[in-house]
A and B are shown apart, each in its own frame.
Chain A
Amino acid sequence: SQKIEQNSEALNIQEGKTATLTCNYTNYSPAYLQWYRQDPGRGPVFLLLIRENEKEKRKERLKVTFDTTLKQSLFHITASQPADSATYLCALPSYNTDKLIFGTGTRLQVFP
């Protein structure tokens, strides 16, 4: 079955720096991958979707890359702010289905 690996250790960075989060997956390569943000006590919020034929996608200060050879997606937040502090989840469809499975997320802490 498909496995998603996100760094379980929190990422602490200083305001203004670029945060880079990693999502690795095993087995088959999905047709797309999604990233979500989750704040404590809230549901995940959809941020970006990237398809397998797209190497990179941007939205304001966010950038996502998708490397099907490495089986990896990188999620970048440039000029990070304390308000960016949250847990970030990657998600992709399970093999041969449309069911979206989620990684366990990486907690980002941006300090002033």
Chain B
Amino acid sequence: DAGVIQSPRHEVTEMGQEVTLRCKPISGHDYLFWYRQTMMRGLELLIYFNNNVPIDDSGMPEDRFSAKMPNASFSTLKIQPSEPRDSAVYFCASSLGIAQTEIYGYTFGSGTRLTVV
């Protein structure tokens, strides 16, 4: 298994532009998560999906952020318009299960380093 695959690895964009980050989770994993990591705030959960359905998006910072999961093998995180404070590393992760009766560790992708200038 190739693990969780994210693209692009690096993205540099100008303020105001639309940015789309992509993620392919591990096949068979029912849960998909989007996290953002910065030096100041560490790893923050933005949104997560269960069986392609968004379950909790309370971590999405603003309406400028949106996420979709059109099928079990693909998810996107979009920022429109982007701002310099969105600069961070964005991670996608997937898991077999998160219920307390059936918990598994998360498998993270290598992340997308986003720089908004």
**Chain B residues closer than 8 Å to A61, beta-carbon distance:** none
User: Are the C-beta atoms of A44 and B108 separated by less than 8 Å?
Assistant: yes
Interface centre among B48, B103, B104 (most CB of A within 10 A): B103
Task: Pick out which of these stretches binds chain B: A20-28, A65-73, A78-86, A94-102.
Answer: A94-102
Contact status of A32 and B103, CB under 8 A, knowing A43-B111, A44-B108: yes
In this assembly, does B74 line the interface, its C-beta being within 8 Å of a C-beta of chain A? no
- Beta-carbon contacts of A43-87 to B below 8 Å, as 1s and 0s? 111110100000000000000000000000000000000000000
In the docked arrangement, what's the CA distance between A93 and B106, Å?
12
In this assembly, does B117 line the interface, its C-beta being within 8 Å of a C-beta of chain A? no
* Interface residue tally on B, bucketed by range: 20 to 34
Among A32, A89, A101, which residue has its beta carbon within 8 angstroms of that of B45?
A101
User: Are the C-beta atoms of B105 and A49 separated by less than 8 Å?
Assistant: yes
In the docked arrangement, what's the CA distance between A49 and B100, Å?
12
- Beta-carbon contacts of B80-106 to A below 8 Å, as 1s and 0s? 000000000001010000111001111
User: Are the C-beta atoms of B98 and A102 separated by less than 8 Å?
Assistant: no
User: Are the C-beta atoms of B93 and A104 separated by less than 8 Å?
Assistant: no
In this assembly, does B70 line the interface, its C-beta being within 8 Å of a C-beta of chain A? no
Interface centre among B106, B107, B109 (most CB of A within 10 A): B106
**Chain A residues closer than 8 Å to B12, beta-carbon distance:** none
Query: What are 20 A-B contacts with C-beta separation under 8 Å?
Result: A36-B105, A43-B4, A43-B108, A44-B91, A44-B106, A45-B108, A46-B106, A47-B105, A49-B103, A49-B105, A93-B98, A93-B100, A98-B98, A99-B48, A99-B56, A100-B45, A100-B106, A102-B35, A102-B42, A102-B43
Apart from A93-B98, A99-B48, 11 more pairs, CB < 8 Å = A34-B106, A36-B105, A43-B111, A45-B108, A46-B105, A46-B107, A49-B104, A93-B100, A97-B56, A100-B33, A101-B45
Which B residues are closer than 8 A to A by beta carbons?
4, 33, 35, 42-43, 45, 48, 56, 91, 93, 98-100, 103-111
